[in-house]
Amino acid sequence: MKNKINIYLIEYAINSILRQKAKNFFIVFVFILLIFLLTSIFFITNSIKYELETTVDSLPQIIVQKIKAGRQYDIDENVVDQLIKIEGVKDVVSRVWGYYYFANAGVNFSIVGLNEYENQYKNSFKKIIQNVELEKGNTSFMVMGQGVQKVLNENYYDKYFNFIRPNGTLKKVNFAGTFDADTELESNDVIVVSKDTFRDIFDMDENKATDIVVKVSNPKEISMIASKIKLIYPDTRVITSDDLKVSYQNIFDYKSGVFLAIFIISLFTFFIIIYDKSSGLTSEEKREIGILKAIGWKIDDVLKEKFYESFIISSFSYIFGVGLSFIYVYIFHAPLLQNIFTGYSQLKTSFELPFIFDIQTLFLVFFLSVPSYIGATIIPSWRIATLEADEVIR
């Protein structure tokens, strides 16, 4: 019987919270704000890290770029024939891609040119080639990401888009639909056209490519084959998938430093509240405990009541803060905080954070907040409850 929850103690704890509305409201408000901020930081970092890792996994094993005077230039298509002869190389594909600035919306689109007779280095591109004709006679078509479609529709382009060539003339390209890749970060700002259309838009020679993608039979031989390519073509930059992973991780770690600073500040603020709470009770709270002991309450009863009181405040704040964080990150897409990672530049299309349910994050924030607050409430209450009633009341 003694181990059962005492409903009357819970009722008294609720009434005690309501008697000190102003003080407890302030505590709950700050508590919710800190939990909301901490949880939002974890949700955003988890989602963006998932996006980056998935994007890196879909990138080519080796990329070969032509470098002149420290800058990238178009590379000759005939390099493909030489690279395919290297032992261990499974496939070689030339790529044509670049960025197109759409001044009306102030954003950059990533334009990719595909050839239906070539092997594609991404599954999403394979699906496009299988399902869509990018050229029909003299008519050109394009497939775009969701972000591109949204931007173009907002600027009254719903059937076709006019690209401006370097010489100032227009190239009309009709819409053929949208596509989805593994992540929005990868596909959101992408437009896919045929290679002929791409070369027409950007005035690129037919025997030139932006870079070359190399696929190897054994992933363990990537670095060795990359070294061979560098020896054959010393004027190229050879980038492996491991290089890209390191680059992405460095960017993520740098941005995470900003979030870490916010996290430390939030945590420091929270523990200031905990320290203030654990340093002692107010004279009114001490007198209340003394009166309760005088009318027959035991030390266990006092501690249980204080446990219920602190648990109600902390658990309510935790649930409300986490709920607000879910809404802020996954419904409103974390305005302001997301920009710490993605930047504030207008030269990009926005993307939605993928929903990643990380139970470890919820447990971490819970154990950082709720038990700490309960302990900070019970410890000073226990110190007062162990004293004689008349001593406390005096």
Angle, vertex CA 279, rays to CA 274 and CA 281, nearest 5 = 100
At 76, is the secondary structure helix, strand, or coil?
strand
Show Cβ contacts of residue 283 under 8 Å, excluding neighbours closer than 6 positions: none
Which residues in 232-328 belong to E strands, given as ranges? 236-240
pTM: 0.66
The listed range with the strongest mean pLDDT (337-341, 352-356, 366-370, 385-389) is 366-370
The CA distance from 130 to 114, in Å, is: 12
Under the phi-then-psi rule, with left for phi > 0, alpha for psi from -120 to 50, and beta for the rest, what region is 203? Answer: left
**β-strand 89-102 against 107-114: which pairing, if any?**
antiparallel
The CA distance from 288 to 156, in Å, is: 69
Query: How many beta carbons lie within 10 A of that of residue 183, not counting itself?
Result: 18
pLDDT in tens, 287-341: 777 787 778 788 888 888 889 988 999 999 999 999 999 999 888 888 777 766 6
DSSP 219: G
More confident residue, 81 or 187: 81
Q: Which tokens hold the place of 285? A: 């709270």
The CA distance from 30 to 315, in Å, is: 13
Q: Which tokens hold the place of 149? A: 């479609």
Contact 361, 39 (CB under 8 A): yes
